[in-house]
Amino acid sequence: MPLKQITHRFTVMGGPAELQLYLDATTQDKNQLVQLAENEAYRLEKKYSRYRDDSVTSRINHSAGQPEAMEVDDETAALLNYAQIAWQQSNGLFDITSGTLRRAWDFKSNHLPDKNQIAELLNNIGWQKLLWQAPLLQLPFGMEIDFGGVVKEYAADAIATLLRNQDVQHGLVELAGDISIIGAHPNGKAWKIGVRDPQNPETAIATIDAFEGAVASSGNYERFMIVDGQRYGHILNPKTGWPENSVASVSVHASTCLVAGTATTTAMLLGATQGRKWLQDGQFQHLLFEV
């Protein structure tokens, strides 16, 4: 029986989202599937946005410096456990406590941050400085966490899982360019996932073939500023407070969007030579473009 392609676009977490689903003609309520996916994306945005005072992220950050640890729910505990593993496996380069650096970096200003301000912010960065024993989390005064580096990818995976549980067997869930894959393409072949040209992000420079899993990308074309001819990207090293400028973009195919996204960030911060080696050692299918 032929499958019908459904494409649905919406906006969440400050960026574009797209569902590309291939459904059996007998599927009764296509709108219900779409609404289910949207609701999950909005649920996670509401829960983890640092812009909302009622989010888990804000409650955690408001607890910094308190004498008693804060108890978190199971979903948040799983994300914190993942963040800890990612921090360990990246040798501290993937660190969800580094969000405070945004206070120093304004990519709309075209002015480099004050080095003393960065040095001061670095005092409150470092996963090893917080106390995490699931489900209890305790942050020292002045520290923050930011799930921004994981929640978009986690949401793509969560939506894909929800749709699989509704018997969707073929499709793509894309949140701001990061893609979680549901089954093979209906033609039985691999999906061809386009990879943006970092010099011309509106066009594809290559493709990654994938039957399953997920593909995530990071690049210095997303948010940046140019000062004295030097491009400074938005992915900042939590140890130095500055970007690493030898990688233009990285795309990674992994088992989940969460893992793929972490890998792209880590490779960007390691730089071209070490980043490529780290991805090869981890046996990640990838495309890395140097500046």
Q: Give the dihedral of Cα atoms 259, 264, 269, 275; nearest 10 deg.
A: 100
Q: What is the DSSP string of 204-232?
A: EEEEEEESSSEEEEEETTSSEEEETTEEE
Residue 1: predicted pLDDT: 65
Strand partners, 56: none
Residue 53: predicted pLDDT: 96
Residue 221: predicted pLDDT: 83
Q: Determine if residue 196 is left, alpha or beta; phi over 0 gives left, psi from -120 to 50 gives alpha, anything else beta.
A: beta
- Express each pLDDT in 199-212 by its tens digit: 888 899 999 999 99
155 contacts 17 by C-beta, under 8 angstroms: no
- Structural domains in the chain, CATH included, are 1-50+148-189 (3.10.520.10), 51-145 (1.10.3980.10), 190-291 (3.10.520.10)
In which band, very low, low, confident or very high, does the pLDDT at 29 lie, cut at 50, 70 and 90? confident
- What is the value of pTM for the model shown? 0.95
In which band, very low, low, confident or very high, does the pLDDT at 86 lie, cut at 50, 70 and 90? very high
In which band, very low, low, confident or very high, does the pLDDT at 24 lie, cut at 50, 70 and 90? confident
Q: Report whether pLDDT(268) > 70.
A: yes
Q: What is the mean pLDDT of the chain?
A: 95
In which band, very low, low, confident or very high, does the pLDDT at 78 lie, cut at 50, 70 and 90? very high
Residue 222: predicted pLDDT: 79
In 3D, which of 138, 45, 50, 52 has the Cα closest to residue 99? 50
